[in-house]
Amino acid sequence: MIRPSVQALAPYVPGEQPKLKRLVKLNANENAYPPSPKVKEALRGFDASLLRRYPDPGCNHLRHLLARRHGCKGENVFVGNGSDEVLRLAVDVFTRNAAPVGVFDPSYSLYPVLAAIREAPLCKVPLPRDDAALAALRVPEPRPDLFCLVNPNAPTGTAFGVEAVRAFARALAPSVLLVDEAYAPFAGRDCVRLAFEERNVVVSRTFSKAWSLAGLRVGVLLGPAALVDALYKVKDSYNVDWLAQTVAEAALSDPDWMLANVRKIAATRDRFAAGLVRKGWDVTPSCTNFVWCKPPADGPSAAELQARVRNRGFLLRRFADSPELADHLRISIGTDAEMDELLELL
Ligand code: PMP
């Protein structure tokens, strides 16, 4: 017996993780550079006998460090097994049965899956063109219990300003606005203050992108204590293992390393995007570690280019199942040498 909503579910499809070493992975928005040397040190110095014990269920030390970093209290911080766990818990906790979950379209393709698992109707709203359009947006009826706003957005790489997001949050209240900030460190601006100034805003963050730790699985939610507390009530007891807690703490002790990587990636991104524009591509200006782009109409299609460069060792992401998105490619930013070679191939 399988629950009908699960039988009917089209699952989330993550970027391919091939076995071939030779491939340059530009399909999952991972970081092109390794994490801080402090991470290596922490792994080397990790006391294996600690693993006899269950990890701290509240991630208290890591929570304290994150609270210090974001200028809040520990009670405003939730730590999860990647931000995907945080998003799943948010959908569980902030929606009543059968109440809609709101998302912008296009946006992160996990949200429709999370809503479908809970049999919640998905309320898709076209992505507003700019800050003014977001601030003036009428909240759809019936009002979603939870609205998930990815900022900067994936796959478009565009970002709204904090005051436009605040205006939308106020229009949405008392429903909860989740601002998914997986890529915010690349934008150089964020909405974290809204998580402490507005009663209905939570902000999710991740160690997977800017901190180069996608393989570790640590995500964070910042928000009012009452909302954070609700997530702690329903999470698995030991959702973040000892190794993940220890390594995330080590990474946090070296924010300059993360910032240097972010700067390098942003510079490579801007150079690569300018190169595509010179070749006649339609490139959406990006605030992230990827670019959303469409090849010129008089040349090979996105699908053809994706297949051709794959034969030369480059993996790119295309949303082939979505008619509105399938003519674009989402290209994660690799090293300078990788991007120069790819530009040449394209
Ligand atoms: N949010 C967005 C917008 C993403 O693109 C991703 C990465 N696929 C995530 C959240 C999840 O990241 P993680 O679970 O690795 O923290």
Q: Could you write out the DSSP letters of every residue in 129-145?
A: SSHHHHHTPPPPSSPPS
Report CA(87)–ligand 1 centroid distance (Å). 9
Q: Is the Cβ atom of 168 under 6 angstroms away from ligand 1?
A: no
Report CA(208)–ligand 1 centroid distance (Å). 7
Q: What's 60-84 look like in SS3?
A: HHHHHHHHHHHCCCHHHEEEECHHH
Q: Is the Cβ atom of 214 under 6 angstroms away from ligand 1?
A: yes
Distances, alpha carbon 73 to alpha carbons 78, 149, 224, 233, 252, in Å: 11, 24, 10, 18, 17
The radius of gyration computed from the CA coordinates of the chain, to the nearest angstrom, equals: 20
Structure tokens at 169: 């949050």
Q: Are strands 282-284 and 314-316 parallel, antiparallel or unpaired?
A: unpaired
**Closest atom, ligand 1, to C-alpha of 206:** 16
- Model pLDDT, residue 142: 94
- Model pLDDT, residue 160: 98
The amino acid sitting at 244 is A
Report CA(276)–ligand 1 centroid distance (Å). 26
Phi/psi of residue 204, nearest 5 degrees:
-105, 145
The answer to whether the bond into 142 is cis (omega within 30° of 0) is: yes
Q: Is the Cβ atom of 219 under 6 angstroms away from ligand 1?
A: yes
- Model pLDDT, residue 2: 86
Beta strands in 218-299 (DSSP E): 219-222, 282-284, 290-294
Report CA(52)–ligand 1 centroid distance (Å). 30
d(CA 269, CA 29): 12
Tell me if 205 sits within 8 A of 150, measured CB to CB.
no
d(CA 328, CA 322): 10
The contacts of residue 260 (CB under 8 Å, 6+ apart) are: none
**Closest atom, ligand 1, to C-alpha of 87:** 10
**Closest atom, ligand 1, to C-alpha of 218:** 16
**Ligand 1 atom 8 nearest Cα:** 28
- Model pLDDT, residue 286: 98
Q: Is the Cβ atom of 154 under 6 angstroms away from ligand 1?
A: yes
Q: Is the Cβ atom of 83 under 6 angstroms away from ligand 1?
A: yes
Q: Is the Cβ atom of 326 under 6 angstroms away from ligand 1?
A: no
pTM of this prediction? Answer: 0.96
Report CA(148)–ligand 1 centroid distance (Å). 13
Nearest CA to 98 among 137, 146, 169? Answer: 146
d(CA 116, CA 5): 7
Beta strands in the chain (DSSP E): 24-26, 77-80, 101-105, 122-126, 146-150, 176-180, 201-206, 219-222, 282-284, 290-294, 314-316, 329-332
Distances, alpha carbon 167 to alpha carbons 70, 136, 170, 301, in Å: 22, 8, 5, 39
Report CA(38)–ligand 1 centroid distance (Å). 24
Beta strands in 20-67 (DSSP E): 24-26
Report CA(72)–ligand 1 centroid distance (Å). 23
Report CA(141)–ligand 1 centroid distance (Å). 28
Domains of the chain: 4-34+256-345 (3.90.1150.10), 48-254 (3.40.640.10)
**Ligand 1 atom 6 nearest Cα:** 182
- Model pLDDT, residue 162: 98
Report CA(84)–ligand 1 centroid distance (Å). 6
C-alpha 128, offset from chain centre: 19
Q: Is the Cβ atom of 180 under 6 angstroms away from ligand 1?
A: yes
d(CA 245, CA 55): 8
Structure tokens at 103: 């998302």
Determine the length of the chain.
346
Reading the chain (346 residues) residue by residue, the pLDDT tens digits are 888 888 888 888 877 777 666 789 999 999 999 999 999 999 999 999 999 999 999 999 999 999 999 999 999 999 999 999 999 999 999 999 889 999 999 999 999 999 999 999 999 999 999 999 999 999 999 999 999 999 999 999 999 999 999 999 999 999 999 999 999 999 999 999 999 999 999 999 999 999 999 999 999 999 999 999 999 999 999 999 999 999 999 999 999 999 999 999 999 999 999 999 999 999 999 999 999 999 999 999 999 999 999 999 999 999 999 999 999 999 999 999 999 999 999 9
Give SS3 for 245. helix
For a ligand 1 pocket test, name from 13, 78, 81, 110 the mutation site with the most ligand atoms within 8 angstroms of its C-beta: 110
